[in-house]
Amino acid sequence: MTAPLDYATRYWKLGFVWHPVCPVEHGCSSPGKIPFSLEQGQHLAGWQDRQLSKQAPQLSKMRRVPSYSKCGIGCLTGHVSGIAAIDIDGEAGEYAWEEVKEGDVETWEYTTGRGRRLLFRYSVAARTVRPQEGLEILLDGSQTVLPPSRHPTGRLYTWKISPDDLEEPEPLPPWLASKIETSHDWSVRISRPTNEGMRHLTATSIAGYLVQHHLPPEVVQELMLAWGEAKCDPPMTAGEIKRIVMDLQKKEERKSSPKALGKFFGLPPEFIGNF
Ligand SMILES: [Zn+2]
């Protein structure tokens, strides 16, 4: 029988930062829904703030752990996986979705225990928002359980439009992206106190915003150091901030490389080979 975690390689190839979720028999408050460490046999601590592995899954090693076949599979949403997951929860969610949506939507989609989830391509650093009751846009700091995991109701998360049906998910439509911007006031995010559990993610998000606006990395670093001193409890180290800014800068440079631009304009690789 296939276990949900057998799909890890497949999800990894799609760029998802995947992880096991705890078994539905787990005696916790959200069985079947929380990132889980196979090695330690317990919830994965601090997963919102942790750089989860982007390495290829080592399935043969994982299969030796007895809880392997009982665990579900999930992935981080947001810029790390390049995915925004729209959670439409029950009747309230369907109602809210009808109010928000503009035109027909066809992208990767699957059923959950009580509703459905749509996946869109989205690589901007932004936090999860709930524009309306029953409707949530899962981004940085959240994760989503994926098919064919089991829900505590006994139902399986099941694809309606899978990566087999549609090669790429749709980019996040502007009418959804606008919900994110309006709910994200940068001045609020920068000024509020940030605890240890959230500081890495918040720093990545603020520094990402500055880097995308083409501030030189030295300037971003100095600003982030001041922010880390003033707003983080405990303060972030200079080394940690430097690493975050350097990673973001490298990512930004890759985006504007001749190869990436060539891809954007649909140029063949031979054409851009000389740049
Ligand atoms: Zn659990």
Q: Tens of pLDDT along the chain (275 residues)? A: 799 999 999 999 999 999 999 999 999 999 999 999 999 999 998 887 666 777 889 999 999 999 999 999 999 999 889 999 999 999 999 999 999 999 999 999 999 999 999 999 998 878 889 888 899 999 988 999 999 999 999 999 999 999 999 999 999 999 999 888 654 567 777 888 888 878 888 898 889 888 888 889 999 999 999 999 999 989 999 999 999 999 999 888 887 666 555 555 555 555 544 44
> What are the residues whose beta carbon lies below 5 Å from ligand 1 (ion)?
22, 26, 28, 34
Helices (H), 121-195: 174-182, 186-191
Whether pTM > 0.75 for this model: the answer is: no
* CA 59 to ligand 1 center in whole angstroms: 22
Q: What is the amino acid identity at position 241?
A: I
Cα(23) to ligand 1 centroid in Å equals 7
Cα(221) to centroid of ligand 1, in Å? 38
Residue 138: name the closest of 78, 56, 90 by CA: 78
Distance CA 8, CA 13 (A): 9
Task: Decide if 77 contacts 143 (C-beta within 8 A).
Answer: yes
Q: Phi then psi for 71, rounded to 5 degrees?
A: -80, 150
Give the three-state DSSP class for 232: strand
Q: What distance in angstroms lies between residue 90's CA and the mean position of ligand 1's atoms?
A: 23
